[in-house]
Structures are given as C-alpha cells and as structure tokens.
C-alpha cells in the first residue's frame, strides 16, 4: 500500500499557514488539513472545526483519517501531551512528547537541565514561596528578570529595573496570580546583556539539522521600545551567526541539551528552538521553545530549498541522518501587521483589504477569519508579510512593498524590522 503523503497541521496562526504553504509546494503532498486554521490556510488546504487544544477530537480524527504526518504548531497542545496521544494510536507526529515539551512548559525544568549539563545560561533561582524569592533578589544586580514558570502565552516575563519592581512582579505572579497557575512557581534570574538570536534545530533526539539563524523583534515600537509582544517581525539569516558561532552553539548548547534529555529517558523528536543572548562571554541560553517560532517560521521556510516533508518525516521516524538539507543563500524578512490596541487590548472585527502577492513575497494569515464581507481581523497579530531575495535589502523592499498594499482600520507595524543587520551593512559600506 502506497504511503499517505498527507499532513495535518495543528494550530491556526501565521506559523501554521507558513508550514502549510511550504508543504503545498511539494507536488508529492496530496492533502493538507489545519486544525483549526484561519482565513488564509483555506488557500493551501482544508480547515477542520477543531481547536488546537482539542486533544480528544484531534486524536480521534487522526486515528480515523490516518494522515501521513501530524505537525503540532503551538506549545500548549505539545505540553499537554498531544504528540504522546497520537503516537499511542500509531500516527506519525512531528513534535516532542509532554516530557520533552517541559523545556518550554516549565522554565525551572529547563534551567535545571541547563545547569546540570553545564550549558551557559543566566544565574537563577526557582521558588514556590514568595519570601524566598524576595530574599534571592538581594544576590542579583539590577535589572532583574522575573519569569512565571509555566506557559503564559509569551507574556510571563518581567524585566524589572529595580529590586522593588522585581518584588512587585513576584507578588503579582505568585499572590495575585496575574498569569494564573503559570505563576505558582517563579524563576528569578540575572539580566543578560547582548544581542538576541533565534536558532532552530530539527532533531530526532540524536541528530540535528540547523535551520538558518533568525532575529525576532519583540517590542511593539520602533527602536525596540514599548510593550513586549509575540513578535512584530523577523529576518534571516542574522549576520552575527557566523559559521564559527553556529558550531559553538551546536557543540556547547544544543548537543548537551539532547544528551541531558536522553539521560532522563526523553527521546525528543521535533524542533529545539533556542533563544540565545550573545554576551561578551559567548552565547548563553535565555530560553528554549519546543516548537517552531512565530514569526521566525515565516522567514525560515522561504529559505529552505529542501522538501519539508522529507525533513520532518525523517525526524519523526528517528532517522534524521538519512536526509540532506539545503538552505538558500538569500535572505528573508517578515513584517507583522497588528490590530489596533495590540498588544494590550486588540480591537477585532475590522474588514481587511488584502493586497496581491508578487514575486518573492507571501502573505501569511495569523489572526484572521472569514466574515460576511470578506476577511476580518480575529487576533492581535493579523498578518505576517514576508519578502525574500538575494540579500536583506531586497527582502526588506519586497516585504514593505507588500505591506503598503494591505489596509484595515487601526493597523500598525514596525518600520524598522532588520535595523540591527541593516545598520551593520551601512556601517561597513
């Protein structure tokens, strides 16, 4: 019986649209489903009326339909054990089980593993008692980072300029529970100075395939000002990620992480996504994510010259060593168009006047839905507009050129995505 070249993608954001877009370019892939998808994913596949966290519904559907591969996009279903459930019913899945997903789901679990494996990271303490957490503050220089231990939709991190503000953040997380049960335990750690770098590795628990480096822009305002967001844009590759640096990260950070997981009996099959700080002492781990980043996925996949199916299936089967992966030599940039009021209180429901995709561009839907009069805003981050070309300048021109053709009431976006890399290019010119 011939293999089923079909894919179910769990999730409904820009990352999932980009994954489906890449799969749909492969003539061997017969069908792509999304659970639940969005207004854009219908152009490359079929949306299913199931939430990404509907463990029972997704498992029953996959057991019945037998897709050739399930790719779990968001962290919440991975941390809840969706990949384990699917493997139990004999469905091939790309994504770690619940134990491996603790790398993102529990910052204390992650920090303990990093320390045990002697992987460079910030000095920190993990606490379930407010008094002990407050006492630990005295041992750290300001600013101080306070993190809710569990998943908080990317919002459970406070960079406090003073000990007083750090103490307030601890009380808000642990006593007021502003992040719910995610704040029952907190991590208090030193602030690292340097430039951030996102690095994605596809792994089967033994071998690694590094994807191009990327840099995200978390702050809502230009010049990296204002509130933290889920990401206002990204570009790849990052100039700081030299071949020498990537070798150092692989040998001192990524491989020891896999070894530490293996010691605990965890076979990690999925994305190992390291958020790094490039400090004066070398690269250090800020955090790990257990899935593809968003908006990083939207810049990485246009640069991938190899079929996504071959790469992810080999990782899911524990045979990553059999594939050769080729990434293009150009660059890509994604600009996120956000809803009015994002990130504090996004205003939803506006009709979107969509532009046309031109050569070297793609419009990935994130927070959208089909309304009575067309596509409407349905989330804080609405669209991820990507351009790619021979270098970062051409990628930027294409991305912002496409952004200029899209309109909805209250939209806002950063006009300086890639500024660090582009300033370096200008400075060296």
- Confidence (pLDDT) at 424: 60
Q: Which DSSP string corresponds to 345-373?
A: S----PBPB-----TTEEEEESSEEEETT
**Is pLDDT of 313 > 80?**
yes
Show Cβ contacts of residue 19 under 8 Å, excluding neighbours closer than 6 positions: 9, 71, 73, 292, 297, 301, 308
Give Cα 11 distance to the centre of its chain. Answer: 12
Q: Which helix (H) or strand (E) holds 61?
A: helix 55-65
CB 357, CB 402: distance < 8 Å:
yes
The arithmetic mean of pLDDT across residues 266-282, rounded, is: 96
Evaluate whether 8 touches 71 at the Cβ level (below 8 Å). yes
**Residues 5 and 30 sit within 8 Å (Cβ to Cβ):** yes
Other beta carbons within 10 angstroms of residue 191's beta carbon come to: 15
Buried b (16+ CB within 10 A) or exposed e, 197-214: bbbbbbbbbebbbbbbbb
For residue 206, which of 356, 361, 320, 83 has the smallest C-alpha distance? Answer: 320
Which residues, at least 6 apart from 58, have a Cβ–Cβ distance to it below 8 Å? 8, 10, 35, 50, 52, 70, 77, 82, 86
* Residue of higher predicted confidence among 281 and 425: 281
What is the per-residue pLDDT for 50?
A: 97
Nearest of 299, 258, 315, 252 to residue 119 by alpha carbon: 252
Please determine, for residue 70, whether its predicted confidence score (pLDDT) is greater than 70: yes
Q: How large is the average pLDDT for residues 16-35? A: 98
Say which CATH superfamily domain 129-184 falls into.
Answer: ATP-grasp fold, A domain (3.30.1490.20)
| DSSP E strand boundaries for 37-128 | 46-47, 69-72, 93-94, 124-127
Averaged pLDDT of the chain? 94
Q: Return the closest-CA partner of residue 334 out of 387, 371, 292.
A: 387
Which pLDDT does position 429 carry in this prediction?
35
Confidence class of residue 355 from pLDDT cuts 50, 70 and 90?
Answer: confident
CA pair distance 331, 352, nearest whole angstrom: 28
Q: What is the dihedral of CA 272, 205, 123, 297, to 10 degrees?
A: 0
Of the CATH numbers 3.30.1490.20, 3.30.470.20, 3.40.640.10, 3.50.50.60, which one belongs to the domain with range 195-428? Answer: 3.30.470.20
Is the Cβ–Cβ distance between 363 and 417 less than 8 Å?
no
Intervals of CATH 3.30.470.20 along the chain? 195-428
Distances (CA, A) of 426 to 11, 140, 223, 423: 39, 38, 17, 5
In whole angstroms, how far apart are CA 32 and each of 23, 193, 381? Answer: 8, 42, 23
User: Three-state SS for 327?
Assistant: strand
Q: Which token pair is 352?
A: 């979107």
Q: Taking 80 as the threshold, does the pLDDT of residue 428 lie above it?
A: no
What integer pLDDT is reported at residue 30 of this predicted model? 97
Q: What is the pLDDT of residues 379-405, one digit of tens each?
A: 999 999 999 999 999 999 999 999 999
Start-end of CATH 3.40.50.20 domains in the chain: 8-95
Q: Residue 104: which of 167, 170, 148 has the closest Cα?
A: 148
DSSP letter, residue 156: -
Name the helix (H) or strand (E) containing 160: strand 157-160
Rounded (to 5) percent helix, strand, coil in the chain:
35, 30, 40
User: Hey, which residues does 270 pair with through a beta bridge?
Assistant: 203
Q: Could you tell me which CATH number the domain at 8-95 has? A: 3.40.50.20
All CATH 3.30.1490.20 domain ranges in the chain, comma separated: 129-184
Q: Kindly state the DSSP code that residue 304 receives in the 8-state scheme.
A: B
**Percent of all residues in the chain with a pLDDT value above 70, rounded to a whole number:** 98
Q: What is the pLDDT of residues 134-161, one digit of tens each?
A: 999 999 999 999 999 988 776 788 899 9
Amino acid 356: pLDDT: 82
Beta strand extents in 167-281 (DSSP E only): 186-190, 195-203, 208-210, 215-216, 219-221, 225-228, 233-236, 270-279
Query: How far, in Å, CA of 277 to CA of 113, rounded?
Result: 18
């Amino acid at each position: 019986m011939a293999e089923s070249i079909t894919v179910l993608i769990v999730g409904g954001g820009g990352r999932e649209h980009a994954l489906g877009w890449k799969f749909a370019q492969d003539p061997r892939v017969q069908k792509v489903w999304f659970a639940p998808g969005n207004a854009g994913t219908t152009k490359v596949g079929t949306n299913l009326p199931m939430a990404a966290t509907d463990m029972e519904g997704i498992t029953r559907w996959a057991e019945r339909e037998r897709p050739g591969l399930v790719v779990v996009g968001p962290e919440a279903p991975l941390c809840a054990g969706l990949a384990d459930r699917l493997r139990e019913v004999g469905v091939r899945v790309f994504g770690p089980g619940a134990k491996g997903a603790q790398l993102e789901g529990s910052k204390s679990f992650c920090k303990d593993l990093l320390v045990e494996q002697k992987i460079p990271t910030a000095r920190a303490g993990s606490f379930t008692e407010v008094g002990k957490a407050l006492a630990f503050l005295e041992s750290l220089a300001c600013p101080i980072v306070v993190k809710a231990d569990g998943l908080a939709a990317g919002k459970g991190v406070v960079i406090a300029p003073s000990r007083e503000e750090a103490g307030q953040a601890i009380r808000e997380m642990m006593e007021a529970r502003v992040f719910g049960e995610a704040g029952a335990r907190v991590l208090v750690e030193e602030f690292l100075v340097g430039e951030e770098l996102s690095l994605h590795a596809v792994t089967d628990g033994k071998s690694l395939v590094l994807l191009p480096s990327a840099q995200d822009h978390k702050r809502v305002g230009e010049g990296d000002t204002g509130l933290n967001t889920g990401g206002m844009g990204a570009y790849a590759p990052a100039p700081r990620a030299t071949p020498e640096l990537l070798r150092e990260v692989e040998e001192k950070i990524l491989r020891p992480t896999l070894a530490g997981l293996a010691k605990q009996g965890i076979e990690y099959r999925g994305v190992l996504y390291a958020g790094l700080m490039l400090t004066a002492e070398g690269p250090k781990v800020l955090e790990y994510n257990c899935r593809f980043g968003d908006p990083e996925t939207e810049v990485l996949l246009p640069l991938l010259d190899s079929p996504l199916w071959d790469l992810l299936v080999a990782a899911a089967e524990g045979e990553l060593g059999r594939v050769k992966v080729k990434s293009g030599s150009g660059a890509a940039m994604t600009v996120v168009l956000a809803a009015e009021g994002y990130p504090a209180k996004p205003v939803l429901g506006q009709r979107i006047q969509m532009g046309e995709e031109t050569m070297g561009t793609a419009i990935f839907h994130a927070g959208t839905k089909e309304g009575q009069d067309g596509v409407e805003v349905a989330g804080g981050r609405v669209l991820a507009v990507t351009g790619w070309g021979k270098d970062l300048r051409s990628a930027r021109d294409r991305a912002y050129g496409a952004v200029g053709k899209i309109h909805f009431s209250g939209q806002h976006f950063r006009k300086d995505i890639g500024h660090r890399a582009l300033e370096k290019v200008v400075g060296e010119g």
